[in-house]
Amino acid sequence: MLNKFSLLVAVVMGLAATSNGFYAQDLTAEDYHSDAVRRLATKHDPAMPVAIGALVVKQAGLIKVRNLLYEYGQQFKLGDNWNPKAEEWQEAEEVFIEIIDSRISTILKNPVWFEDALFNLLIGRITAEEADEIARHFESPVGIVQREIIDMSMIAETLQLAYTISRTIKPGISGSEQEYKDLQKVWWERRPAFAARENIYQDPAVRRFAGQETGRKYGRIIAMQGIGAIMTYIRLAVKEVESQVAVNVPIIKTFAETFQHRQEAL
């Protein structure tokens, strides 16, 4: 029985090897290029862009909801008591927040969007050889640290600065407290290690990579078009969430009617 099993395994492994051989022969230069760029895109840490994006989209969604609630009150003359302190306003807001959180979970919390954004950016800007060289560098001990610095300094800090200066991220937006906490948690989980390694540029391997055209080229792409690609996706996510909120405006009617009945009974 054991011999038969061993023979079966050998046959299966042989077929697999043959299949892989045929597959390798079938790969085109475009396939190799795509695989190399995809492998490089997966080296980057999506945690900070995901957390920043979730906060941006959550605040945009909350602002949209509150504006629509206010406009609904104006349109149907619900009076001054129809405001964020009203019980029915708050209940309606909670329903909309569930819609917002659901969309954020689908389109932002899954980090594949970040990988896809980098892939789509890089595929037309670097060769398979360049992508492979950078990915291999990022797998080395010193390369891992350098990639962490790129993720925190070039990407995360730039995104935070851009959204803060433009007041896209606003302090004091109630309902976005959890997203703020999530962002701070991700930041402090990574910031101490990153800050402690800022002297890494004394390492010859790092200076060599940063000094080569491939390294300089990659840094320019990430620092310029890379940030733009990430912000473009987040901007589309904002539009998606605002659209979902607007589509569900009829939800307000039930809460507004309850509010009116309660006001009439006063």
The residues spanned by each domain of the chain are 31-265
pLDDT of residue 13: 41
Rounded distance, CA 77 to CA 262, Å? 15
Element (H, E) at 206: helix 204-211
pLDDT of residue 18: 45
pLDDT of residue 241: 98
| pLDDT lower than 50: segments of the chain | 1-23
pLDDT tens digits for range 107-146? 999 999 999 999 999 999 999 999 999 999 999 988 888 8
Rounded distance, CA 44 to CA 233, Å? 17
pLDDT of residue 105: 97
Q: How many CA atoms lie within 13 A of 16 on its CB side?
A: 6
pLDDT of residue 2: 39
Rounded distance, CA 143 to CA 135, Å? 9
